[in-house]
Chains A and B, each alone.
Chain A
Amino acid sequence: MIIIFAIDALEYEKVEKFNCENLKQMHYGRTDISEFSQPRTMVLWSSFMTGMNKEKEVLKDGDKEMWDKKWDIKETFFSEFKNPVVLDLPGYSYDKKVHDKSRELLKKFFETEDKKEKDKIRKQYNKDAFEHHRKIKEQFLKAIEEKKEKHELVLGYFSVADVIGHLNFGNTTIMKMIYKELDEIAEQISKKGKLIILSDHGMKALGMFGDHSEYGSWSTNFDTKLKKPKITDFYKLITELKN
């Protein structure tokens, strides 16, 4: 089984700082996303699953409409695998309702000038993100535990570090808790198959807030010649793992 632990905004520097040993498997490093004009989540995951730079194609629909984009399985490497499970991945199986609600709260947070109201919105925003995380985690672990021959590939996309990070990156206590949680998931799945941990981009602090950084990160529990791969390089790597 091939397991892809897809983590939005996992920051390489924080993995090192918080000493997340399981997020650093046998090989790990940064990815090169310099070919993209900005580190946009939808563009990066679309390029990852299709193996091609999809920036123009994703952006032509507009900044808001891009979140509606859904790639056909035939355009992705998922089609190479028997019964693939792909959970919540932007551009493929994204739970738009949940993420729309999160963006609505983000909008409200910036619209209000009232500090108490801001705190209230932020708490709700964080709560929703953790609840969604728990739901995806449960489905991800369940799919991995199912009979080995059932799914050749299981991918779980986790948005908690990105969503919470945007409003809380300067809060070390919250961010450390999230990284430790992600590290524990990596520990649980690291012996269940060939594991790839991948982030689209990282995150850098902007006061108490978080902004996307200009590189992503990767890690594998198997031998590979990757050094500073592009996000599109994983298409070939993953399809070759099947053989």
Chain B
Amino acid sequence: MVTIKKEILKKLEKRAKESGSFKNVDEYINYILKQVVDKLEKEKKEKKKQKPAYSKKDEEKVKQRLRSLGYLD
């Protein structure tokens, strides 16, 4: 069970109707969510290819800075 804000649901219903390509708003919401998830997964894969998530060099820099800001001993 997912709760959607009333104002967003109204907009989705309107858009689903206007497009004429969907049986109902449920189908339209599923379509949108699939697009979003596919995009996010694609972005995640591309990011992984680009560079390691946490580099040792950045980690050392941030550690020093967090110490001087009083976050780390």
Nearest A residue (CB) for B60: A110
Nearest A residue (CB) for B62: A209
- Is A40 among interface residues, defined by CB-CB distance under 8 A? yes
When chains A and B are docked, how far (Å) is the Cα of A209 from the Cα of B56?
Answer: 11
- Is A41 among interface residues, defined by CB-CB distance under 8 A? yes
CB <8 Å contact, B58 and A209: yes
Taking the closest CB of chain A, its distance from the CB of B3, in whole angstroms, is 15
Contacts of A64 in B (CB 8 A): 70, 73
Kindly supply a per-residue 1/0 record for chain B positions 13-54, scoring 1 wherever the CB is within 8 Å of any chain A CB and 0 otherwise.
000000000000000000000000000100000000000011
CB <8 Å contact, B70 and A66: yes
- Is B66 among interface residues, defined by CB-CB distance under 8 A? yes
CB <8 Å contact, A40 and B72: no
When chains A and B are docked, how far (Å) is the Cα of A209 from the Cα of B54?
Answer: 8
Taking the closest CB of chain B, its distance from the CB of A192, in whole angstroms, is 19
Nearest B residue (CB) for A102: B71
Secondary structure at chain B's binding surface: helix, strand, loop or mixed?
helix
Known contacts: A118-B54, A173-B40. The answer to whether A206 contacts B70 by CB under 8 A is no
When chains A and B are docked, how far (Å) is the Cα of A209 from the Cα of B64?
Answer: 12
Contacts of B61 in A (CB 8 A): 206, 209, 211
Known contacts: A64-B73, A166-B71. The answer to whether A106 contacts B66 by CB under 8 A is yes
- Is A208 among interface residues, defined by CB-CB distance under 8 A? yes
Q: Which of A38, A39, A41, A207 contacts B54 (CB 8 A)?
A: A207
Known contacts: A173-B40, A208-B54. The answer to whether A107 contacts B62 by CB under 8 A is no
When chains A and B are docked, how far (Å) is the Cα of A66 from the Cα of B69?
Answer: 11
When chains A and B are docked, how far (Å) is the Cα of A67 from the Cα of B66?
Answer: 14
- Is A240 among interface residues, defined by CB-CB distance under 8 A? no
Among the interface residues B40, B53, B63, B69, which one has the most CB atoms of the partner chain A within 10 A?
B69
Taking the closest CB of chain B, its distance from the CB of A144, in whole angstroms, is 20
- Is B10 among interface residues, defined by CB-CB distance under 8 A? no
Taking the closest CB of chain B, its distance from the CB of A45, in whole angstroms, is 13
Among the interface residues B54, B61, B65, which one has the most CB atoms of the partner chain A within 10 A?
B54
Nearest B residue (CB) for A37: B68
Taking the closest CB of chain A, its distance from the CB of B26, in whole angstroms, is 24
Taking the closest CB of chain B, its distance from the CB of A67, in whole angstroms, is 7
CB <8 Å contact, B66 and A207: no
- Is A24 among interface residues, defined by CB-CB distance under 8 A? no
CB <8 Å contact, A67 and B70: yes
Taking the closest CB of chain A, its distance from the CB of B59, in whole angstroms, is 7
Q: Which of B40, B58, B68, B71 contacts A206 (CB 8 A)?
A: B58
Nearest B residue (CB) for A170: B53
Contacts of A166 in B (CB 8 A): 62, 66, 71
Taking the closest CB of chain A, its distance from the CB of B33, in whole angstroms, is 15
Nearest B residue (CB) for A110: B63
Q: Which of A40, A118, A210 contacts B70 (CB 8 A)?
A: A40
CB <8 Å contact, B69 and A41: yes
- Is A212 among interface residues, defined by CB-CB distance under 8 A? yes
The residues of B with any CB-CB pair to A shorter than 8 Å are: 40, 53-55, 57-59, 61-63, 65-73
